[in-house]
Amino acid sequence: MVIHWGAPLPVEEDLDSLWAAQVMDVTGGMMDETAPLSICPEARLGWAGMPGAVLIDENGCRVLPHLTHVTVRTERSDLGRPQSLNVSAEDPARGISYHAVLALTGEGMVQTWASVTAPGHVVEWLAAPLLPVPPDSDGVLDFSGRWIGEFQLQRYEWRPGIHMREARQGRSGHEHPPFAVLTSRGATNTAGEVRALSYDWSGGHRMIAEELSDGRRQLQFGHAPGSHSKGHARTATLTATFSGEGLNGTARNFQRHVRKMTTPHARQPRPVHYNCWEAVYFDHDPVELRDIACRAADLGAERFVLDDGWFGRRDDDRTSLGDWTVDRRKWPEGLRPFAEHVESLGMGFGLWVEPEMVNKDSDLYRAHPEWLLGPADQPSGRQQFVLDLAQSAVAEHIFTCLDRLLTEVPITYLKWDHNRVLPFADERQVRGLDSLLDRLTLAHPGVEIETCASGGGRIDLGILRHAGRVWLSDSNDALERLRIQHDAALFLPACVTGSHVGPRHCHTSGRTLDIRFRAWVAAQRHMGFEMDPRELTEDEARILRSVTDWWKANRDWRMAADILRLDHPDPAVIAEIQVAQDGARFVVFAGQAAASAQSLTRPLQLAGLEAGARYRVTLRNADEAPPLSRGAPALKSGPLILSGQALMRQGVTLPWRFPEGVWVLEGERVP
């Protein structure tokens, strides 16, 4: 049982007393002993809530394991402090063994995982070793979402019963991303105790937040039921962190952790992307695309991504997934000359693939109908089906196709898509993908992978082991993106978060948005363009070029900066500050998402600065103030020098502006 997870206690704290202080009473209507809320709560001991493990035996009967013979092994770090705990327990009568690990990363993260070996049994549910919910927790923040509406923050307030989030369709999903945040009373973005957790798994999971009638609360994460193979189960890693500095404290810890654990590409200078999807869709014409590539390079793109439509006979989404050979009708000379053209323009060449999928109208399916995951008569999703990666022939085939492509064409980047849910959750599928990606990365270490699943349908720390970028959403609508990326920053750093400047008339919302707004919103993260550059007016192209130049000039520190969400008293404003690792500079993006209720802007209080330091703050885009901004807020006419304390407590007043625009406030520490 983990007794304390939170603010550090004094080193001399007596652990026996700490334990004794938590022992619960017994009253009427209860068992005579209160079952412990251990790292794997056991129903056999009278635990009335969701147990940590549920097993089914060969007769289909539920088994309550009798775990005894508990051993605990401690591994110590160089400093002599415990670094990890290995807990083992056995149910000798049934031949079941349980193993748990709880480890500290040394950088503020706790990681836990568990495994069960139970010959002849099906492990229906296995929770990663539990971390305690603090007594002053007032609820859980987690995300719901949908296609073009990812990472919608929602709040669950503790009350008796269960709040369950379950991604049953074999991927982490738009609907229930595997993240949760436990807030303590009064926590805000900038203050209060917060604990954030991630279940690092792409294959479907379950989260249970439960309050028992005795008042205790638990938070469990595990694979979606039905995922585990017979006889053995292993949870994914549960990664968690505590902060006494509000949501921004845990966000900072997660952003830094992700930046470190993901692929090295995310830590190298991020190239500005151009993606041709919303410009041409399936309609590939090399002459047009060459022209588009020239224009993209002229705008400042450094990587050109050829999206869906280049292979098989892929004129729409009904055909050809699985046939990873170039469509010679569209590309008579193959892709190499085009890739070389892209390179000659100073850009890297990237390609879209969706290797885990197959259309029934494909040579692959006609040759291998038995490679499908699940029954042949299942309904299709986007006209497609999933390949069974647990079959070694399937994995071998996909590897060979991709390996050939990567060898024949100078590709430095794959946009790896996954546009259909699985027929069921199956851990073998994720393990198959893991090995495929490991093998591919070993063979082609220079190739960066981006994870995409109809936008943000597979964003989790499992896939981020292989992919250094996430396609956060298929919505290139800057107004939607402003919100989505702001909320996703509770876990995701800028360097992994793709954000593109979309078309003037947004294809997924019908909105018409100004180029300044589109450009600055994309500039908040890993920037790219995803419109037909031929639609840009001279003026739009000039503005886009200038924001892109600004992005490039600042990318080195910004892609490693901490993104802190600002608590702004105006709900129409979505604001964040990005602070450089050395604290010497920052940039604030204050997005006016809607018209404010009051007539004037409220001062914006910053965060994450040194109270005693002085900063020069400059409104980068003061020229965007409309004629209706008739007054004279100081920032309109030049920089101000203020202390961190003044910026964080009193704040700064930005000029009035139309909705659908972003103020960009740059700051640098002055000696």
- Among all residues, which ones are annotated catalytic? 417, 474
By the rule CB under 6 A, 357 interacts with ligand GLA: no
Residue 654 phi, psi dihedral angles, 5° rounding? -95, 155
Contact (CB, 8 A) for 437 and 468: no
Does position 308 interact with ligand GLA (CB under 6 A)? The reply is yes
Report the nearest approach of ligand GLA to the CB of residue 276 (Å): 10
Residue appearing with tokens 């193979």: 229
Counting contacts by CB under 6 A, is residue 474 touching ligand GLA?
yes
CA 273 to chain centre: 19
| Position 477 contacts ligand GLA (CB under 6 A) | no
- Please say which residue, 352 or 663, places its beta carbon nearer to ligand GLA: 352
Residue nearest to ligand GLA (CB): 308
Closest approach of ligand GLA to the CB of residue 457, in Å: 8
Question: What single-letter DSSP state applies at residue 214?
Answer: T
Q: How far is the CB of 420 from ligand GLA (least distance, A)?
A: 10
Out of 47, 221, 352, 413, the only residue in the binding site for ligand GLA (CB under 6 A) is: 352
Measured from the CB atom, is 111 or 275 closer to ligand GLA?
275
Helix axes 336-344, 286-299, angle to 10 degrees: 20
* Residue of 172, 362, 454, 601 that binds ligand GLA (CB under 6 A): 454
Span near ligand GLA by CB under 6 A; candidates 56-64, 116-124, 134-142, 447-455? 447-455
- The site map against ligand GLA for 370-409 (x = CB under 6 A) is ----------------------------------------
Task: Tell me the C-alpha distance between 375 and 141, whole Å.
Answer: 37
Segment interacting with ligand GLA, rule: CB under 6 A, options 104-112, 218-226, 239-247, 449-457: 449-457
Would you say 145 or 455 has its CB closer to ligand GLA? 455
H, E, C per residue of 95-122: CEEEEEEEEECCCCEEEEEEEEECCCCE
Backbone angles phi, psi at 545, to 5 degrees: -60, -40
Determine if 272 is a binding residue for ligand GLA (CB under 6 A): no
Listed in sequence order, the residues at least 6 apart from 435 whose beta carbon sits closer than 8 Å to its beta carbon are: 395
Phi, psi at 58, each rounded to 5°: -65, -20
In the complex, the smallest distance separating the C-beta of residue 274 from ligand GLA, rounded to whole angstroms, is 13
Q: Which residue has the tokens 């739009």?
A: 540
d(CA 194, CA 134): 10
Please report, for residues 278, 293, 411, 425, the alpha-carbon distance to residue 341 in angstroms, rounded to integers and kept in the order given.
21, 8, 13, 43
CB of 620 to ligand GLA, least distance (A): 30
State the nearest-atom distance from the C-beta of 500 to ligand GLA, in Å: 9
Q: How far is the CB of 19 from ligand GLA (least distance, A)?
A: 50
Q: Does 210 bind ligand GLA (CB under 6 A)?
A: no
What gap in Å lies between CA 111 and CA 129, rounded to an integer?
Answer: 9
Q: By C-alpha distance, which of 344, 381, 384 is closest to 364?
A: 384
Query: In this chain, which of 200, 211, 356, 417 binds ligand GLA, going by CB under 6 A?
Result: 417
Minimum CB distance to ligand GLA smaller for 254 or for 352: 352
Residue number, 344 or 380, with CB nearest to ligand GLA: 380
> Minimum distance between the CB of residue 318 and ligand GLA, rounded to whole angstroms?
12
Among 47, 277, 371, 663, binds ligand GLA (CB under 6 A): 277
Contact 666, 579 (CB under 8 A): no
Distance of closest approach, residue 317 Cβ to ligand GLA, in angstroms: 6
307 binds ligand GLA (CB under 6 A): yes
Segment contacting ligand GLA by CB under 6 A, of 167-175, 332-340, 395-403, 452-460: 452-460
Stretch that binds ligand GLA, among 169-177, 451-459, 481-489, 616-624 (CB under 6 A): 451-459
Choice between 193 and 474, CB closer to ligand GLA: 474
Give the one residue of 50, 339, 414, 452 binding ligand GLA; rule: CB under 6 A: 452
How far is CA 365 from each of CA 326, 394, 399, rounded to the nearest angstrom?
A: 17, 11, 17
Burial of 609 (0-12, 13-18, 19+ CB in 10 A): buried
CA 560 vs. chain centroid, Å, equals 16
Q: Are 259 and 489 in contact (CB under 8 A)?
A: no
What is the smallest separation between the CB atom of 281 and ligand GLA, expressed in angstroms?
Answer: 8
What residues between 43 and 102 interact with ligand GLA by CB under 6 A? none
Structure tokens at 57: 């035996």
Cβ-contact 325, 368 below 8 angstroms: no
Residue 234: C-alpha distances to residues 209, 563, 607 (Å) = 21, 33, 40
419 contacts ligand GLA (rule: CB under 6 A): yes
Cβ 417 to ligand GLA, closest distance in Å? 5
The H or E element that residue 364 is part of is: helix 363-367
Please measure the distance between the N-terminal and C-terminal CA atoms of the chain and give it in whole angstroms: 50
Q: Which is nearer to ligand GLA, 357 or 590 (CB)?
A: 357
With CB under 6 A, what is the number of residues at the site for ligand GLA? Answer: 11
The residues that bridge with 56 in the sheet, in sequence order, are 62, 122
C-alpha to C-alpha distance for 27 and 214, rounded to whole angstroms: 10
Side-chain-side CA neighbours of residue 660 (13 Å): 11
Binding flag, residue 455, ligand GLA (CB under 6 A): yes
Measured torsion, CA atoms of residues 36, 40, 42, 45, in degrees rounded to the nearest 10? -30
Range list of H helices, 187-285: 246-261, 277-280
Smaller CB separation from ligand GLA, 452 or 574: 452
Q: Name the residue nearer to ligand GLA (CB basis): 42 or 308.
A: 308
- Candidate segments 296-304, 334-342, 436-444, 448-456, binder of ligand GLA by CB under 6 A: 448-456
Residue 603 Cβ vs ligand GLA, minimum distance, rounded to whole Å: 39
In the bound state with ligand GLA, the residue whose beta carbon lies nearer, of 455 and 493, is: 455
Q: CB nearer to ligand GLA: give 316 or 396.
A: 316
Q: Which is nearer to ligand GLA, 41 or 502 (CB)?
A: 502
Q: Tell me whether residue 126 is exposed, middle or buried, using C-beta atoms within 10 angstroms of its C-beta: 0 to 12, 13 to 18, 19 or more.
A: buried
Beta 68-76 vs 149-157: how paired, if at all? unpaired
| CA nearest to 201, candidates 264, 127, 141 | 127
Specify the amino acid at residue 314: R
Binding mask 594-613 for ligand GLA (x = CB under 6 A): --------------------
Q: Which residues bind ligand GLA (CB under 6 A)?
A: 277, 307-308, 352, 417, 419, 452, 454-455, 471, 474
